Amino acid sequence: MEKNFGEHVHVNEHPLVAHKLTIMRDKNTSTKDFRELVGEIGMFLAYEATRDLPLTTKEVETPICKAELPTLAGKKIAVVPILRAGLGLVDGVLRMIPSARVAHIGMYRDEETLEPHVYFCKTPKDVAERDIIIVDPMLATGGSADAAISEMKKRGCRHIKLLVLVAAPEGIKCITEHHPDVDIYCGAVDDHLNERGYIVPGLGDAGDRIFGTK
């Protein structure tokens, strides 16, 4: 399998991420632990996805002296969870960037055709001026993320990143072909999709495991 997906795909290779993902993949991991791990890995991935945030400086008086020191330049960000499973990542990402706004996009896959459908989209009024981080645990065929990115572009957003826990090569191909301007941040790239569109080895149905609906 090709391992180099190009400059727009950032696979997190931190051992803590790999370790936590392995616990999540175990079918015997409880809903409580699974949910907590989604949040924890969300923090790690948000840390990477914000590495290019611009800095300015401000004067601070330390106990020793006055100094001109780095501070975030006030970039406006919106985190966009794809409902439902993307909700599991919001708290972890907001712990890294607490001033971000949250826009929700409701998306479901038709179980027969695997086609995504947008059923809800509520964004801050100034969303077009914000940097967008779309979050979803799974990038499988890429259909849901593709549709979510297109929806945000329709609303005027131009700086969009996609943050996922586990990606399939098929999903990465879909996004890099349809949205070459979008950077993807992921915890792992797995082997392939099975005939039902599930990532292999994957971690099963992320929404069901986060919310305990199976």
- Does 211 interact with ligand URA (rule: CB under 6 A)? no
For the record, the structure tokens of 34 come out as: 């699974």
Span from 13-21, 33-41, 63-71, 133-141 in contact with ligand PRP (CB under 6 A): 133-141
Span from 5-13, 99-107, 172-180, 203-211 in contact with ligand URA (CB under 6 A): 203-211
Query: Which C-beta is closer to ligand PRP: that of 79 or that of 107?
Result: 107
**Contact in structure between 49 and 9 (CB atoms under 8 Å):** no
Query: Which C-beta is closer to ligand PRP: that of 17 or that of 139?
Result: 139
Which contiguous run of DSSP H or E holds residue 169?
helix 169-178
116 makes contact, choosing from ligand URA, ligand PRP, none, with CB < 5 to 8 Å by partner type, with ligand PRP
**Contact in structure between 158 and 152 (CB atoms under 8 Å):** no
Residue 146 annotated as catalytic: no
Task: Please name which of 135, 81, 146, 143 lies closest in space to residue 110, comparing C-alpha atoms.
Answer: 143
* Residues in binding contact with ligand URA, number by CB under 6 A: 10
* Contact residues for 33 (Cβ-Cβ < 8 A; gap 6+): 23
Instruction: Pick from 42, 92, 169, 171 the residue near ligand PRP by CB under 6 A.
Output: 171
Residue 113 annotated as catalytic: yes
- Determine how many CB atoms are found less than 10 A away from the CB of residue 143: 21
Residue 123 annotated as catalytic: no
- Does 198 interact with ligand URA (rule: CB under 6 A)? yes
Instruction: Spot the catalytic one: 56, 57, 71, 113.
Output: 113
Helix (H, G, I), strand (E, B) or coil at 21: helix
* Rounded Cα gap, residues 164 and 148, in angstroms: 13
Binding mask 24-63 for ligand PRP (x = CB under 6 A): ----------------------------------------
Number of H helices, E strands in the chain: 6, 13
Q: Which residues participate in catalysis according to the annotation? A: 109, 113, 205, 208
